[in-house]
Amino acid sequence: MISALIWIPIWGAAIIALLPAKIPSNRIRLGAALVAGITFAWNILILFQFDINNPNIQLQEYLPWNETLGLSYKLGVDGLSILMLLLNSLLTWIAIYSSSKETRRPRLFYSLVLLVSGGVAGAFAAQNLLLFFLFYELELIPFYLLISIWGGEKRNYAGIKFLIYTAVSGALILASFLGLVWLSGSSSFDYDAISTQTLSATLQLILLAGIVLGFGIKIPLIPLHTWLPDAYVEANTPIAILLGGVLAKLGTYGLLRFGLGLFPEAWSTLAPTLAIWGAISAMYGAVTAIAQKDIKRMVAYSSIGHMGYILLAAAASTPLALVGAVAQMFSHGIILGILFHLVGVVEAKVGTRELDKLNGLMSPVRGLPVISALLVLGGMASAGIPGMTGFVAEFIAFQGSFPVFPIQTILCVVATGLTAVYFVILLNRTCFGKLDNDLAYYPKVFWHEKMPAFILAGVIIFLGIQPTYLVRWSEPTTTQMVANIPAIQKTVIPRIAMNQSTFNSEQ
Amino acid sequence: MDFVNLASQLNAGTIVPEGIVIITFLGVLIVDLILGRSSSRWIGYLAVAGLLSSLVALYFQWDNSNPISFIGAFNGDDLSIVFRGIIALSAAITILMSIRYVEQSGTALAEFVAILLTATLGAMFLSGASELVMIFISLETLSISSYLLTGYTKRDPRSNEAALKYLLIGASSTAVFLYGVSLLYGLSGGQTELSAIATGIETANLGQSLGIVISLVFVIAGIGFKISAAPFHQWTPDVYEGAPTPVIAFLSVGSKAAGFALAIRILTTVFPLVADEWRFVFTALAVLSMILGNVVALAQTSMKRMLAYSSIAQAGFVMIGLIAGTEAGYSSMIFYLLVYLFMNLCGFTCVILFSLRTGTDQITEYSGLYQKDPLLTLGLSLSLLSLGGIPPLAGFFGKIYLFWAGWQAGLYGLVLLGLVTSVVSIYYYIRVVKMMVVKEPQEMSDVVKNYPPISWNLPGLRPLQIGLVTTLIATSIAGILSNPLFTLANNSVANTRILQESMAPSPQVSVVTSKLP
């Protein structure tokens, strides 16, 4: 079952790469969209097979591969990964669909996109640490090529930066995995064969730090984020959707699965630091986004901020907070998808992304009214306006985190407020105001160009009104994960209570 | 001593593979003498056939119950068989790629093939040699043939310079090695066979005396030269730049494999008492090689020089397995050398093909190649990415195994350095891929703009294509389907007596965890 999610795109990529060169770009694009559509349909099928009440790994597949290395082809899904797989196949389809009809070198482009999609699915489904690492490293070269062949002006710089950062991240993760498996004395790299119980607290902290830093580059957390603005801005629209929507989730997913899942004790020790880190990331992302003059860059920094909430919720690791974290991962994926898609359309039609040059796109006849309306919707969803999925996810995450880390949570709430600020700036400068009469002869936006945005907007609103469909998948799994974690309340809450009592005695 | 007894002591059957190589060598020479230049049409195939039948002979030697032959001078155990196989295979592929190259340079192919076969012979004997004089003779057979091959295109001043430089450095390092070997002979009380030297040293109770340490360092200097470990690497960039490209393809794989075979055999047999010392020295060499090889490769503009520094770095990675000194360590070395054979020869084949068609090997001249020659682009990209350790190619699995073995042996620092320098290496490997794949048609280099139409019909290009496709397929799938290779590497270590004796019992997991804080 799960294997098909990996191998349909990869075989599709192989077939597309071998097509004769004469086939026009658009045909290849449709072929790739077909492959991605089949994968997505298959994913929906898996969703029906998935037993929501079972917190364990389901739909397992196992093939022995390399016993010397302890590497086995072991796949499975649980509440943590099922939504991520869905997000991956949905966004892959959207990305391929929203790519330009006249893409240069289409065979290479679409086969790389499909290859990346298969690799990401493999990483989400892998239940073996080395297998995960294999799929994780598999993204490296295709994404590098996708950024540096089809990107913007500074694409070479952005591509190399992305490559080096991701390679360092891979090295850190591999070092931690090797250390973890060897020191804990596991027989293989299978996820369920590993237990960190025997390790001393210091060692657990060192290994966890390696994992946090490794995935922190991918998420990205400040100060490890500097590859992100360049890579997101220089990548073209479909690649930016995949980078921000899917690849960043690989980081948070890895953090939850391997950091929280394998090191429950060390996690509770490190949690206060991570919560502060998350809060700082959220604030930093919001504040820097305010200062940007380029809408894509603004959205990129907003992504840094939104990933901060996930880190906060993961650090709090109450059942509610973890549900919120998974929900935030999914909703951030689709919101970023719609935003990057719309920004791409605006750039294609208007020809600029500068806030100082854009104006009055809301104008019904000569502007881009539908695109602007969807942009308003996307901005609102990102800023956490009720009725849309962003609000649901953030609210659950904050409610779950508040009892454990009140101050950090309040900082994050302030950051959502700032998110609203820069999205209002963005909408104000782009959608409202007057069109420049000399320049405003924009091409028509075709129906099929709007379609991905409509689909994503529909999902955003549906999940905002019916949030059960967002949270029901991950609840049993996250509850079980939390059960393994020694309560952070014990380490943090008493201190606050103690502070209060000292206050009282001083009074 | 009656004849039957002598025959059983000689046990000449173990060197049948080498015998086939010798016959091929003589055949090549004689055919060339009789037929002259016109023989070059098929003399390459004759040599390849000889080498492949030698591989078949090696297959039948596997798990020989009585490997010691020639009164202790040669040991045909599974370790030597794997290394001889690697060397013969690298020579076969080298011949495939050199047919056109040598033709085009206007020199005789038969002499070239004959010298290459002699080098192969020396390297194969070196893999199994277990007696000092035998080691020295086979080492020198390999070295002198390498000098001759390096200066083979003698109208090219760079080739001359490279040969002279290689000869000077090589001769002095051989002298140093010989001095170390003579010390061993004296210290052991007049023994030349490796295991007898070990017992001689033990009975004389010379344990960790100064003499042993000096001879160890001298021997390591000789080995370090062959495997081009920093700081004995200085010949590598110049020789790689000057020598004919097929020659350095052989030097980077076959000669290096022979060096590692010698290292394993002599260090584990003769120097078990100073194991900590040689591990320490090799740790230093590995650290230097990984850092220097990878960092200096960043700044190279010529493809051959870059591959030279990359091969220094790869030697550094392989040394991790040697230092680990466990069963997994030796197996990971062998596995890595096997996949290194495929990816490096694939890379060199592409470099040769490009320089045959354009006459240059500057990295910047590769820009925009994807439009003109997709197969070459694919081959060079995959082999370089495999050298950089990108999944799912062969090099990824090789590196994982090396690092995993190193980690199991507690070499945390070395493995971390290996990981960091792999990241560095990705940068310079991807630089070439960027030139070929990423560059736009308008950024195409002049050489690629005037790229000749692709045809494989010229004499000698077809074997080149066969070699390219074979190594390319091996590089791409030897990782995913790596189980047979892993089994081969593990068995060769498990069935080899000298390694089993030398190996310390692998540390128990519980011991490790209790020792840690």
SS (H, E, C) A300-358: HHHHHHHHHHHHHHHHHCCHHHHHHHHHHHHHHHHHHHHHHHHHHHHHHHHCCCECCCC
Residue of B nearest to A162 (CA): B427
Distances (CA, A) of A400 to A242, A316, A317, A324: 29, 7, 8, 7
Among partner residues A163, A170, A171, which is closest to B430 by beta-carbon distance? A163
What's residue A504's pLDDT?
A: 47
- Cα–Cα distance, A261 to A317 (Å, whole number): 11
| Nearest-neighbour CA in chain A from B517: distance (Å) | 7
Subunit contact A68:B490, Cβ cutoff 8 A: yes
Q: Which residues of A touch B396 (CB under 8 A)?
A: 134, 137
Q: Do B486 and A66 meet the contact criterion of CB atoms below 8 Å apart?
A: yes
Q: Do A317 and A488 meet the contact criterion of CB atoms below 8 Å apart?
A: yes
Beta-carbon contacts of A273 under 8 Å, excluding residues fewer than 6 positions away, are none
Subunit contact A137:B510, Cβ cutoff 8 A: no
* pLDDT tens over chain A, length 507 residues: 889 999 999 999 999 999 888 888 889 999 999 999 999 999 999 999 888 888 888 899 999 998 888 899 999 999 899 999 999 999 999 999 888 887 888 999 999 999 999 999 999 999 999 999 999 999 999 999 999 999 888 999 999 999 999 999 999 999 999 999 998 888 788 888 887 777 888 999 999 999 999 999 998 888 899 999 999 999 999 999 999 889 999 999 999 999 998 998 899 899 999 999 999 999 999 999 999 999 999 999 999 999 999 999 999 989 999 999 999 999 999 999 999 999 999 998 888 888 888 888 888 888 888 999 999 999 999 998 999 999 999 999 999 999 999 999 999 999 999 999 999 999 988 888 888 777 778 888 888 888 889 999 999 999 999 999 988 888 888 888 888 887 664 444 444 444 444 444 444
Residue of B nearest to A21 (CA): B371
H-run or E-run covering A419 = helix A406-430
Q: How far is CA A319 from the centre of its chain?
A: 21
In the numeric block, which tokens belong to residue B493? 């270590």
Subunit contact B513:A144, Cβ cutoff 8 A: no
Closest to B282 in 3D by CA, of B330, B224, B210: B224
- Cα–Cα distance, A174 to B450 (Å, whole number): 44
- Cα–Cα distance, A118 to A142 (Å, whole number): 12
Q: Do A139 and A166 meet the contact criterion of CB atoms below 8 Å apart?
A: yes
Alpha helices (runs of H) in B362-450, residue ranges in sequence order: 369-372, 374-388, 394-408, 412-433, 446-449
Between positions 319 and 338 of B, the ones with CB within 8 A of A are: 328, 331
Q: What is the pLDDT of residues B485-512, one digit of tens each?
A: 999 999 999 988 888 877 755 444 433 4
H and E: helices and strands count for chain A:
21, 2
| Nearest-neighbour CA in chain B from A126: distance (Å) | 15
Subunit contact A68:B423, Cβ cutoff 8 A: no
Other Cβ atoms within 10 Å of B36 Cβ, number: 11
Residue of B nearest to A130 (CA): B400
Q: What is the pLDDT of residues B344-378, one digit of tens each?
A: 999 999 999 999 999 888 999 999 999 899 999 99
Mean pLDDT of B4-12: 80
Subunit contact B391:A138, Cβ cutoff 8 A: yes
Q: Do A411 and A278 meet the contact criterion of CB atoms below 8 Å apart?
A: no
Q: Do B238 and B152 meet the contact criterion of CB atoms below 8 Å apart?
A: no
| Nearest-neighbour CA in chain A from B169: distance (Å) | 37
Q: For residue B116, is pLDDT > 50?
A: yes
Q: Which residues of A touch B419 (CB under 8 A)?
A: 171, 174-175
Among partner residues A159, A160, A179, which is closest to B407 by beta-carbon distance? A179
Among partner residues B408, B430, B437, which is closest to A182 by beta-carbon distance? B408
* DSSP, res A385: -
Radius of gyration of chain B (CA): 22
How large a percentage of chain B has pLDDT more than 90? 77
- Cis peptide preceding A220, ω within 30 of 0: yes
Distances (CA, A) of A365 to A432, A444, B211: 14, 10, 94
Residue of B nearest to A185 (CA): B509
Between positions 149 and 208 of A, the ones with CB within 8 A of B are: 149, 156, 159-160, 163-164, 167-168, 170-171, 174-175, 178-179, 182-185, 198-200, 202-203
Radius of gyration of chain A (CA): 22
- Cα–Cα distance, B463 to B48 (Å, whole number): 10
| Nearest-neighbour CA in chain A from B487: distance (Å) | 9
Q: Which of A332-341, B204-213, B478-487 has the lowest mean pLDDT?
A: B204-213
Please indicate if any CB of chain B lies within 8 Å of the CB of A65: yes
What's residue A486's pLDDT?
A: 78
Beta-carbon contacts of A338 under 8 Å, excluding residues fewer than 6 positions away, are A374, A377, A378, A381, A452, A453, A456, A457, A460
Beta-ladder partners of A73: A63
Handedness of CA A389, A395, A397, A400 (dihedral sign): negative
- Cα–Cα distance, B491 to B143 (Å, whole number): 30
Among partner residues A148, A164, A174, which is closest to B434 by beta-carbon distance? A148
Other Cβ atoms within 10 Å of B516 Cβ, number: 10
Subunit contact B390:A144, Cβ cutoff 8 A: no
* DSSP, res A487: P
φ, ψ (nearest 5 deg) of residue A480: -70, -35
| Nearest-neighbour CA in chain B from A171: distance (Å) | 6
Mutant choice from A66, A173, A199, A227 vs B, greatest count of B C-beta within 10 A: A66
Among partner residues A68, A135, A137, which is closest to B486 by beta-carbon distance? A68
Q: Which residues of B touch A141 (CB under 8 A)?
A: 385, 390, 430, 433
Residue of A nearest to B381 (CA): A141
Q: Do A28 and A107 meet the contact criterion of CB atoms below 8 Å apart?
A: yes
Subunit contact A140:B328, Cβ cutoff 8 A: no
Q: Which residues of A touch B434 (CB under 8 A)?
A: 148, 156
Residue of B nearest to A171 (CA): B419
What does pTM read for this prediction?
0.93
Subunit contact A178:B517, Cβ cutoff 8 A: no
Among partner residues A178, A199, A200, which is closest to B404 by beta-carbon distance? A178
In the numeric block, which tokens belong to residue A469? 């469909």
| Nearest-neighbour CA in chain B from A38: distance (Å) | 25
Q: Which residues of B touch A200 (CB under 8 A)?
A: 516-517
ipTM score of the complex?
A: 0.92
Subunit contact B438:A149, Cβ cutoff 8 A: yes
- Cα–Cα distance, A382 to A416 (Å, whole number): 9
Residue of B nearest to A150 (CA): B438
- Name the one residue in this structure whose structure tokens are 């990816």: B343
Subunit contact A145:B438, Cβ cutoff 8 A: yes
Give the type of residue at A150: W
Please indicate if any CB of chain A lies within 8 Å of the CB of B396: yes
Q: How confident is the model at residue B516 (pLDDT cuts 50, 70, 90)?
A: very low
Mutant choice from B421, B435, B509 vs A, greatest count of A C-beta within 10 A: B509
- Name the one residue in this structure whose structure tokens are 């709090």: A316
Strands, E assignment, B269-373? none
Between positions 180 and 219 of B, the ones with CB within 8 A of A are: none
Beta-carbon contacts of B161 under 8 Å, excluding residues fewer than 6 positions away, are B238, B242
Beta-carbon contacts of B371 under 8 Å, excluding residues fewer than 6 positions away, are B441, B444, B448
Q: How confident is the model at residue B1 (pLDDT cuts 50, 70, 90)?
A: low
φ, ψ (nearest 5 deg) of residue B68: -75, 130
